[in-house]
Structure 1
């Protein structure tokens, strides 16, 4: 016969054990629901996007999911009156969008870009590349360099975000050799295609917190590290430095330099007269003997030893290096891919900006350098 069991005694758990157990549960829950995100600094977290639909000029950070369900997309409010555009953009923490149409990858361009002293966490990079063999090779090399800096570089070296676009149209000129690019017969089609690429890049990447847009060509390989601060210090709607090219001078038997960008100019009566006699689809081009315009070219205004901050008003600008206040683009100034007052692309952009009330300014003694093929 089984003996009846006596009363069961429950062992009392100490309060300390309960507290430790609760802490462990809370830690586990936190690890389960917390987002996996890159190691952002406080400054980066302050501008991080919370949802894929947020502006692409903000770095993306995944939102937390509770119970397997993501939260609703955020409603984001931006007050453009709070976006400052000043002559001291570093002190005012102003965001800069650096845009580069790229057909070939030049290591010198990338190395120079990394040397820019403007805080990288305030810089968004945007690239657009064509669907060509050279474009594919440039995209692969660009992605390699981006991975080095964004994944493995020091945090101060990393850029706020980087956007890469591929063109949805074919370039009219298959070769990007300098001799082919600059043939007069190729200019209208080539520059119309460039205008489309610039507009696609601009309209895709311009965010509501962008203060400045720096257009920097992919073959600009040498600039002062303070390029952005220097150009912004003039606080002009459009500011363009003088673009030169280093080369070996066979006559001097030494390295030398020569003017490169002839699209920075002041208009002339001759050019205006030529324009008045043109058909509606014709364009004026600069730097060609077959079409002498007698405009005053900033390329020839350089004075050795003169003040690098000397300013001159311009009627046309090039895009090798061009700093634009974001409000100029927001006002509607873009790059016409069609004859606009017989001008196209960057020169047409300067004309359109001027029609909107924005004056272009050139710095003839401030030099940047173009790659020499």
Structure 2
């Protein structure tokens, strides 16, 4: 990125504040994101924006819904992360949706769920879905731009099947990716605190001594991005992360405060009020306002009158 691009977007002076810097101020909100860098902030700033009496937000039943496919190597750590959440276990159910795995995913999932049940979790289940059309394993295969429509359509299908099979009488559905690397212990309370219908934290990753945005599906539209979309065919599918954007990614909205409205969300860690799912909020499997899967869900949520928000100071980390 050039200095002109940074200045045009109203972003940080990166020559003055390199990515490794810990800031003693909250960065300004850019007109659009020109970088995937997330600056570390001084502890006092983070504490002010995450202060919470978590015990006030522990009276709701939750079902954690997690799609799994060839996930044998991730499941033990996933179980440990879920066990580490500081939320009453008797109010949390954990349901996996397994999709045509070729390894020992089903066996390991059963082992992890039995361990969680012994710890006092409310309900633990695994459902098997034999869906065809899975994009091949491996990071490069899954993340090629040309594969995204097929991949995201498949993910939407898997999520919708899991939602129908796994959501019972709970008040909230919490979607968490099985290959997550870190969850704050008060994740659930922080998201319930917002009192919004669809809520997501920042999903990040560490690159050497820097913090970068992992989930670029979580964003806010700008006048420029909306204008650009009008030029596209109605059945086009827009995907982020494959070049410059004219949107604002969630971590770059810290200057607006603790909870901010969004137009797109990812599925790394996503809380949905269960009543919204029951009223028809699903994951579009075909283009919905030029978006699909989780981003399509966010667009559909807005059209249905539901609130979509992000927490720019609440961080989860992907592997």
- TM-score interval, normalised by the smaller of the two chains: 0.7 to 0.9
Q: Which residue of 1 aligns with 2:67?
A: 101
Q: Which residue of 2 aligns with 1:67?
A: none
Q: State the shift of 1:293 in Å.
A: 4.0
3-state DSSP of counterpart to 2:171: strand
- Choose the corresponding residue for 1:363, options 299, 311, 319: 311
Q: State the shift of 1:302 in Å.
A: 5.1
> In the alignment, does 2:151 pair up with 1:190?
yes
Q: Which residue of 2 aligns with 1:245?
A: 205
Q: Which residue of 2 aligns with 1:344?
A: 292
Give the TM-score of the pair, scaled to structure 2. Answer: 0.77
Q: State the shift of 1:285 in Å.
A: 1.0
Q: State the shift of 1:89 in Å.
A: 4.1
> In the alignment, does 2:102 pair up with 1:133?
yes
What is the rounded CA distance, in whole Å, between the counterparts of 2:252 and 2:110 in structure 1? 38
> In the alignment, does 2:140 pair up with 1:173?
no
What is the rounded CA distance, in whole Å, between the counterparts of 2:123 and 2:188 in structure 1? 17
Q: State the shift of 1:219 in Å.
A: 1.2
- Choose the corresponding residue for 1:266, options 183, 201, 220: 220
3-state DSSP of counterpart to 1:364: strand
Map 1:196-235 to 2 at 5 A: 196-207=157-168, 209-235=169-195
Provide structure 1 residue ranges, at least 5 long, that are not aligned to the other structure: 1-86, 250-254
8 A Cα contact 1:242 1:261, kept in partner? yes
Give the TM-score of the pair, scaled to structure 1. Answer: 0.66
- Choose the corresponding residue for 2:272, options 310, 321, 324: 324
Q: State the shift of 1:312 in Å.
A: 1.3
3-state DSSP of counterpart to 1:351: helix
Q: 1:149 to 1:268 in 2, by over 3 A?
A: closer
8 A Cα contact 2:116 2:124, kept in partner? no
Question: Number of residues paired by the alignment?
Answer: 262
- Choose the corresponding residue for 1:297, options 241, 249, 266: 249
Which structure is larger by alpha-carbon Rg, 1 or 2? 1
8 A Cα contact 1:268 1:293, kept in partner? no
What is the rounded CA distance, in whole Å, between the counterparts of 1:96 and 1:287 in structure 2? 31
Root-mean-square deviation (CA, aligned residues, Å) is 1.9
8 A Cα contact 1:127 1:201, kept in partner? yes
Q: Which residue of 1 aligns with 2:111?
A: 144
What is the rounded CA distance, in whole Å, between the counterparts of 1:204 and 1:118 in structure 2? 24
8 A Cα contact 2:65 2:96, kept in partner? yes
